[in-house]
Structure 1
Amino acid sequence: MPYQFAAPTDTALPLHVIETEALDSWLAAQAPEVSSWVRLNGFAARIGQALLVPGPGGLALMALAGYGSEEDRARGHFALAAAAQKLPEGTYALASGLDGAERETECLGWLLCDYAFDRYRSRKARAVNLVAPDGIDAKRIEAIAAAETLVRDLVNTPTSDMGPDKLEEAAAALAKAHGAAVSTITGDDLLAQNFPMIHAVGRASATAPRLIEFRWGDTGPKLTLVGKGVCFDTGGLDLKPAANMKLMKKDMGGAANVLGLASMIMALKLPVQLRVLIPAVENSVAGNAFRPGDILTSRKGLTVEINNTDAEGRLVLADALALAAEEAPDLMISMATLTGAARVAVGPDIAPFYTDDDAAAAALAQAAKAVDDPVWRMPFHAPYEKRIEPGIADLDNAPEGGFAGSITAALFLRRFAGAGRYMHFDIYAWQPGSEPAQPKGGVGQGIRALFQALPGLASK
């Protein structure tokens, strides 16, 4: 099955993963005919090189995968997947190489190396299977691969099939698969139950705005995940240029990543009391759209001046964060494709995050390095607080000047997150070009690092 390890079998082909600097010593230990074949075929153990070595009768004796140098591997991700994509169909079993801490990450890359979004175009999946090597937690890696696949599929699906109602269905399907309790507040009921900013942002769409919630687990620390579910963002009345709308199906990438993280937590039964909140809206244009200059009153009671209707993600998150804070969880995490400023700062690969907890930031950075899921801490810079205070209202949703856009957005959200422990991720959720195990399209960001760190983070 896709994204799962193969069962052990005697017919699995031995796979040797070889670093460039180790090739000569490896060849010296082989039979002369093997060494000659490898050299004649130009195998230099570079990343992305793969080679079958024939044995007696012409049948394959073994397979080789280039692993490059440490410097080469530092310039990319999932080096083994680069070779796996070039191997012929079959089942492989690791015979040598990958002895370090990178083994689990590289095995994850193998499981994901054949991912393709095929909802609208059929394809024949390649059966390049790997037997789970000794010393890894195969169930954990499979659960992470399934979660990453969920994130990618959700983000890649266009809004015609992933509007607020369909995002609700996806969240409910995941929750119910793990026995979680699901509830949704929809349309004008958002006003009746005091979620005015979620309602204001989504009311112009043909599909009603909603707040999706599910809970799982009844022991352990209280962990609340909040994901931005803007299923499409026209920019509202401050309409985006056409070129800037092309990727706006991914503006629910925060919600997708939160669901991916929740999937890992539930599948592997992490001992937490999990609560997931997703404000799901489409920021559209109609006669009842919220306007520049409007002042909205949030669930928390803070008033917000709307200086740009394209800064809507922080508005829907604010109401959800205020609800989450009322329960005082041990840890609250928000994820959102929130600002272009974050992309200017760190590019598409790195997930910037904000927290006031130095120990949590250090633990997350260590976890990110261990699982090759890069993150970078950004500052809640207090002197910028005045930039989000317009004077006419308590808060400004889009400060003038354009400086420090990711920081001011994070400071805005912190006003609603309460006094508890809070982490905010300003992610991109999109792979702009194809890389091994990461084809162009939707992608998980920061969730593997978070999952690695959560046992320590949630309990503090």
Structure 2
Amino acid sequence: MSYARATSCASLDALSATSENDALIIICDSLDALPQTYAEQINTHAAIDSRVGKQSALLISEQAPGKRLIVTPTGPLGRDYDDVRRVFEAAKKGIAVAKEAGAIKPALYVHNIQQRPGYEFALEVAFLGANQALWQPLEAREYHGDAISALNTISLVGATDEQLKQVNAIAAGQYAARDLCGTEPERMAPPRFADYCVEAFAGTAVKVDVISDIATIDKEYPLLSTVARASYAVERHHPRVVKMAYVPEGNVERTLIFVGKGLVYDTGGADLKVGGFMAGMSRDKGGAASVAGFMKAVAEAQPKGVKVIAYLAVVRNSIGSDCFVPDEIITSREGIRVRIGNTDAEGRLAMGDLLSEAKEVAKGEVNPELFTVATLTGHAARAVGPYSAYVENGPARKAQLSQQLVEQGDLWADCAEVSRSRREDYDFVQPRTLADDVLSSNNAASAVTARGHQFPMAFLAIVGGLDKHGLDSEQPLPYVHMDIAGSGVEGGDWQHGKPTAATVASLFAKYCR
């Protein structure tokens, strides 16, 4: 992988026109309190060019490395609605100017911002924003070569060794997540998705196992098998279950167990997506991609005390003579009879049996917490816009897991909203006949369904058996469903927007720092 790695630079004074860096990017909120070394020069330029201080500007400077000085303003930071994403976005603009100017080893300096509450990690966030801007799709890199990314390192002025270790781990994870999410459906068909994971974790502390045998998948994961059924006619589209595990050295104090939705392409199945709504559905694997990305960050950082297990449901929801249809009743791994309401509600089916297995594993682990991560519903994007939506069960709510993740996301430009699981969600999926135990969905789009991103969590809790591990049980198991349908790509553009690797930074900040 060819993402730009963070390197150290002790101070602004250590940089000069002859240093190994070839550009300096200064991120500031205004021109009122600039670093003394460059203040006079920047203000002189601002007096004749009103763009300076309002947008990213390249100045010729005899003092700056490579004689390139890039001033990138964040705009106001103190209003009620401002957050560290202002820094993230400023860094994206600044690094784009540096790259276009020909720089390949820029230094990044965040001035007079980290002291503000909520901006303590502004330097790290700026680096992550720069890497978001620099990422190019895997297919593009394979065709043009890695040189299209151009930058291999970014020096962070004033960063400690510990900051560098952490931010490089997050960047590695986000890079892998973007690759897995953002690659077209043949290049990242299920077998090739699994291959990428095996290669990405080779030689690391994360063990990867891939289940490819169709008979095993049919037996162990009947709901996933149902979704995959129409893809069996095409060998290169055959499903994969990817399992990952990280066991730390020393004592385990907490166990995290993830299930990720990896729909490498979602046609909608028999409930075919029409009217142009199929475009971008190669990114419906964003949940599994983000889980794999978090595992990559874990592999890089090797945190103490935290055991992490991940199950990825990697499958294609194809249309064909053997596709599953509404009204079918499928018996899940948990023994739950599931009536299919809509074949375009396939992600919860793909994850359900893996969540059942994860629950059984969790019962024997130390302080387990379970998560499903998925680009699951249009309703999440409609309800909370560009934010992730976290829906939690009773034990997770009691432990304030989602709220803690939201607070970390606010600090790391990985923002989310908390949603409550309510009785109406369980009522929504109740069976209508004695022939079945649960309904997978209604037959309308989630975006126009009341509580369209909350009720799928109830379905998952039932088919995963977690409804028996609530606050009133002998063994409560905290569970958070993370819907990233609104946050998974930039600008909500699922066909062309860059994947964001949503949840990777928040999870790392909460559990691995």
TM-score using structure 2 length: 0.80
Matches within 5 A, 1:305-454: 305-327=339-361, 328=363, 329=365, 330-347=368-385, 349-355=386-392, 356=394, 357-358=396-397, 359-392=400-433, 393-399=436-442, 402-415=449-462, 416=464, 418=466, 419=469, 420-428=477-485, 429-432=488-491, 440-454=497-511
Task: Tell me if 1:277 matches 2:311.
Answer: yes
1:296 is paired with a residue of what secondary structure?
A: strand
In structure 2, the CA distance between the partners of 1:385 and 1:286, relative to structure 1 (3 Å rule), is same
Q: Which of 69, 76, 97 is the aligned partner of 1:86? A: 97
Q: How many angstroms apart in 2 are the aligned matches of 1:314 and 1:433? A: 21
Q: How many angstroms apart in 1 are the aligned matches of 2:299 and 2:287? A: 18
In structure 2, the CA distance between the partners of 1:390 and 1:414, relative to structure 1 (3 Å rule), is same
| Deviation sequence 1:180-201 (CA, Å, 0-9, x none) | 1424153122233x32111111
Q: For residue 52 of structure 1, what is the aligned residue in structure 2?
A: 59
1:96 deviation in Å? 6.5
What 5-or-longer segments of structure 2 have no aligned partner? 10-14, 115-119, 470-476
Q: For residue 4 of structure 1, what is the aligned residue in structure 2?
A: 5
In structure 2, the CA distance between the partners of 1:333 and 1:383, relative to structure 1 (3 Å rule), is same
Q: Is the 8 A contact 1:50 1:84 kept in 2?
A: no
Q: Give the AA of the match of 1:407.
A: Q
Q: Which is further off, 441-450 or 396-405?
A: 396-405
Q: Is the 8 A contact 1:232 1:251 kept in 2?
A: yes
Q: How many angstroms apart in 2 are the aligned matches of 1:98 and 1:43? A: 21
Task: Tell me if 1:40 matches 2:48.
Answer: yes
Task: Tell me if 1:259 matches 2:296.
Answer: no
Task: Tell me if 1:200 matches 2:226.
Answer: yes
In structure 2, the CA distance between the partners of 1:118 and 1:147, relative to structure 1 (3 Å rule), is same
2:335 is paired with a residue of what secondary structure?
A: coil
1:279 is paired with a residue of what secondary structure?
A: strand
Matches within 5 A, 1:204-215: 204-205=230-231, 206=234, 207-215=237-245
What 5-or-longer segments of structure 1 have no aligned partner? none
Q: For residue 97 of structure 1, what is the aligned residue in structure 2?
A: 111
Q: Which is further off, 181-190 or 162-171?
A: 181-190
| Deviation sequence 1:144-175 (CA, Å, 0-9, x none) | 11211111111221111111111111222233
| Deviation sequence 1:345-367 (CA, Å, 0-9, x none) | 112x2000111323212211211
In structure 2, the CA distance between the partners of 1:6 and 1:267, relative to structure 1 (3 Å rule), is closer
Q: Percent identity?
A: 23
Q: How many angstroms apart in 1 are the aligned matches of 2:97 and 2:461? A: 47
Q: How many angstroms apart in 1 are the aligned matches of 2:418 and 2:509? A: 17
Q: Give the AA of the match of 2:410.
A: K
1:441 is paired with a residue of what secondary structure?
A: coil
1:291 is paired with a residue of what secondary structure?
A: coil
Q: Is the 8 A contact 2:261 2:374 kept in 1?
A: yes
Q: Is the 8 A contact 1:3 1:146 kept in 2?
A: no
Q: How many angstroms apart in 2 are the aligned matches of 1:258 and 1:310? A: 22
Q: Aligned pairs, how many?
A: 447
Q: Which of 291, 303, 306 is the aligned partner of 2:337? A: 303
In structure 2, the CA distance between the partners of 1:61 and 1:126, relative to structure 1 (3 Å rule), is closer
1:36 is paired with a residue of what secondary structure?
A: helix
2:27 is paired with a residue of what secondary structure?
A: strand
Task: Tell me if 1:109 matches 2:152.
Answer: no
Matches within 5 A, 1:146-295: 146-179=172-205, 180-192=207-219, 194-205=220-231, 206=234, 207-218=237-248, 219-220=251-252, 221-271=254-304, 272-295=306-329
1:25 deviation in Å? 4.8
Q: How many angstroms apart in 2 are the aligned matches of 1:276 and 1:211? A: 10
Q: Give the AA of the match of 2:510.
A: A
Q: Is the 8 A contact 1:202 1:209 kept in 2?
A: yes
Q: How many angstroms apart in 2 are the aligned matches of 1:96 and 1:286? A: 54
1:324 deviation in Å? 0.6
1:59 deviation in Å? 7.8
| Deviation sequence 1:187-237 (CA, Å, 0-9, x none) | 122233x32111111021023223221222154122211101111111111
1:250 deviation in Å? 0.9
In structure 2, the CA distance between the partners of 1:368 and 1:103, relative to structure 1 (3 Å rule), is same
In structure 2, the CA distance between the partners of 1:6 and 1:52, relative to structure 1 (3 Å rule), is farther
1:128 deviation in Å? 8.5
